[in-house]
Structure 1
């Protein structure tokens, strides 16, 4: 049963405030609903806990007035469900008789207050108004916090080049709009990372982001995954299943390789974008969803449209804004930082190897770079990546006639340390590090091995090897170096 009575005489802005009253006492519900309705609240009523939980799933209530003693489910059980699934609702507990234990349990589960019947209506009104204000303050705080996070984003992406700075700028501008975005870029450039950064910068960052790759599934399976299906709708459909549109409701759906989507699915996709409606496979029931769509492709989508492989109307729907991710060859300045990130702080790389990796054209982009680093780490003997540790396709492509010469030159040079936390690259030590210099630098760095390694332009692994070679023990607390006995 629902009663809605609006009145302009309200001290608190309650015109859009949804209040759910859960109590098995029908006369109490009627009296309470009338009083709050007169004050502008939109009141809905329920006489049992299970029914109340169903109503909460369908509607956004700001406050729930909840009786402890009910026949099918206690108020504490309902509160426990709310604590697990919906922490945004302010709950006020009511009971005919109270115990300290019950009150403490209710407060631990998130109830904002606990009142004992018989209840003075004026007192209940004051408590509800306090709950409304408390809930709105919490939501405002979260909103301001989200705005602050979006203004200073910490994307899980690496790049100091101009090309990547432009990507970051567009993410900050497009993220909060919640409009459909099309990400274009070659395979391996990190389009999914860009999509996650857009979601993180959006107004629904606290909601789910669901990912699907159109190229990985057949047309039939892709339809079932996106739109869901009913039991018995096809062979093997032993139970009804929600689709990804439904799972992403309120959040973001990232559709990778959208250019691979079959024409029949493009039509269903268009309808969702136009009015938020969909039907599960095998169902005639219309379902409504509110989803932000981010798509990605490595194809020229305008060409796909011109040649009739992709619907023009759908293209314009998903392409409100295009964000292009540059290939790795266009951001070679980012390669040292990428190596540092994916190899780890304890790994070094020689000058020639870094130079070769910066000159290589990287057709597989960042994904290929990661694989090359992992291979090199397996083959390296001393926590330092050498040219010989890279796949032949990379080392030979730099300069086929000079590959052997580069490998020979490496043996005569010291390692180049990877970028430090500030993103700086140390200079190469072109002369052998003698014992006296090693001791002097260690003393200047007060025995701090990490600082000494940075000062010498070598990796910590190399420093440890030199200490062992020269028989030097470092006593950091005494600020001195001694010979090993």
Structure 2
């Protein structure tokens, strides 16, 4: 791992020397700048992981000198340092791109924590860029997104099998993309120009199964007011995907087996036989071999269907794929959403027992919670997954006011301690009048 670098921007030589040596002692490389011109020169030939920026720089020694540099420094995390520790200045700095705000004199322990957090943020951003760089184009991933060994082997197998007509059985936990595998086999085979028809066996009532699969003729049963083509005929020339194959009723298993053996079938109420040419891809999350032993699934149909067996893996077994899958899902939203680096790390750390289906549902809810924001944050994801309760609107306002008041009180206490409770000196350090300091002390109950 490379040594992380910091740009320290401050016009006080003593502070530069002390703070620079202290940061170097923590293992960082440190470059020093005292003016905006020096910052420009260093940025032209160096890259930094963090910028510590004093706002009061020459020639005016006002906060505007440092604030004007903030847009230039993006997207590197910037921690603003200043003796002008008022709320308006802090909010202005944050709005211009600053990542954090620290009052002078700096507390070494607080500075260490802030620097470590900023470096973690920078590392996550770089890992995110690497993840994005490893994402293969759609024509290479075939919709099967991931960099794990399991996904690479699955894509390789799809490429080998897709041009053939051999039947395929796709197994794996629910929500792991078995239909995506079937669609990839269809899209990269010789039948791609024809139809891909998916039959979800668990969603069709048993009494309607034959009609849905084979079609029916007008008058063949009550309610059959017209001829209807079945799903098998609709897939002629293309691919028929039988999802959740283990849910198919036994009586339908017999009729499906006959069709697989002959390529022909009778629609309900028809006298003439129909012939179609389809490729069969079946999928299940159940153990069909055990069902065969239990006599709940026909052995002859099982051996006819299984052909080449392919298996999809649970997300918990390929955590390195989660970030790429999440990004691909969010890119399809209108408008597209991005995920922050910390949000991607949070997603990758979870087990996702519902696999991609659960991940997709969480992201969809989080995107709605993010509203008009272009990015989905960790808080949106946690709320979408039910890990936190949303605060009431008045509580949100109260929390902000409490945080601002707590920060203001802490800054005043620090200034008073540094000035040995000399109100004039403390007020000067805080950048406010003595009367203003006394009013704030009274408001916060400070004597």
TM-score, normalised via structure 1 length: 0.48
Residue number in structure 1 paired with 2:359: 369
Residue number in structure 2 paired with 1:29: none
**Greater helix fraction, Structure 1 or Structure 2:** 2
Larger CA deviation: 198-207 vs 375-384: 375-384
Which SS does the other structure have where 2:170 is aligned?
A: strand
Residue number in structure 2 paired with 1:323: 310
Distance 2:276 2:375 in 1: 52
Question: In 2 relative to 1, CA 346–318 (structure 1 residues): closer, same or farther, beyond 3 Å?
Answer: closer
Q: Is residue 161 from structure 1 mapped to residue 180 from structure 2 by the alignment?
A: no
Trace 1:264-279 onto structure 2 (pairs within 5 A).
264-279=251-266
Q: Is residue 281 from structure 1 mapped to residue 247 from structure 2 by the alignment?
A: no
Which SS does the other structure have where 1:367 is aligned?
A: helix
Displacement of 1:380 after TM fit? 2.7
Trace 1:56-71 onto structure 2 (pairs within 5 A).
none
Residue number in structure 1 paired with 2:133: none
Which SS does the other structure have where 1:177 is aligned?
A: coil
Distance 1:271 1:348 in 2: 50
Larger CA deviation: 207-216 vs 267-276: 207-216
Q: Is residue 332 from structure 1 mapped to residue 319 from structure 2 by the alignment?
A: yes
Residue number in structure 1 paired with 2:375: 384
Deviations 1:432-464 (CA, angstroms, capped at 9, x unpaired): xxxxxxxxxxxxxxxxxxxxxxxxxxxxxxxxx
Question: In 2 relative to 1, CA 248–349 (structure 1 residues): closer, same or farther, beyond 3 Å?
Answer: closer
Q: Is residue 355 from structure 1 mapped to residue 342 from structure 2 by the alignment?
A: no
Distance 2:292 2:383 in 1: 39
Residue number in structure 2 paired with 1:437: none
Which SS does the other structure have where 2:163 is aligned?
A: helix
The counterpart of 1:223, out of the listed 190, 210, 222, is 210
Residue number in structure 2 paired with 1:127: none
Deviations 1:204-235 (CA, angstroms, capped at 9, x unpaired): 12121111111111012221011111111111
Displacement of 1:384 after TM fit? 3.0
Whether the aligned pair in 2 keeps the contact of 1:153 and 1:201 (CA below 8 Å) is no
Residue number in structure 2 paired with 1:312: 299
Question: In 2 relative to 1, CA 348–290 (structure 1 residues): closer, same or farther, beyond 3 Å?
Answer: closer
Question: In 2 relative to 1, CA 385–233 (structure 1 residues): closer, same or farther, beyond 3 Å?
Answer: same
Trace 1:192-231 onto structure 2 (pairs within 5 A).
192-231=179-218
Displacement of 1:350 after TM fit? 4.1
Distance 1:334 1:359 in 2: 11
Displacement of 1:154 after TM fit? 5.7
Whether the aligned pair in 2 keeps the contact of 1:350 and 1:386 (CA below 8 Å) is yes
Which fold has the larger relative contact order, with Cα–Cα distance below 8 Å and residues 6 or more apart in sequence?
2
Residue number in structure 1 paired with 2:441: none
Q: CA RMSD in A?
A: 2.3
Deviations 1:290-335 (CA, angstroms, capped at 9, x unpaired): 2111111111111111111110000000100111111111221111
Whether the aligned pair in 2 keeps the contact of 1:388 and 1:395 (CA below 8 Å) is no
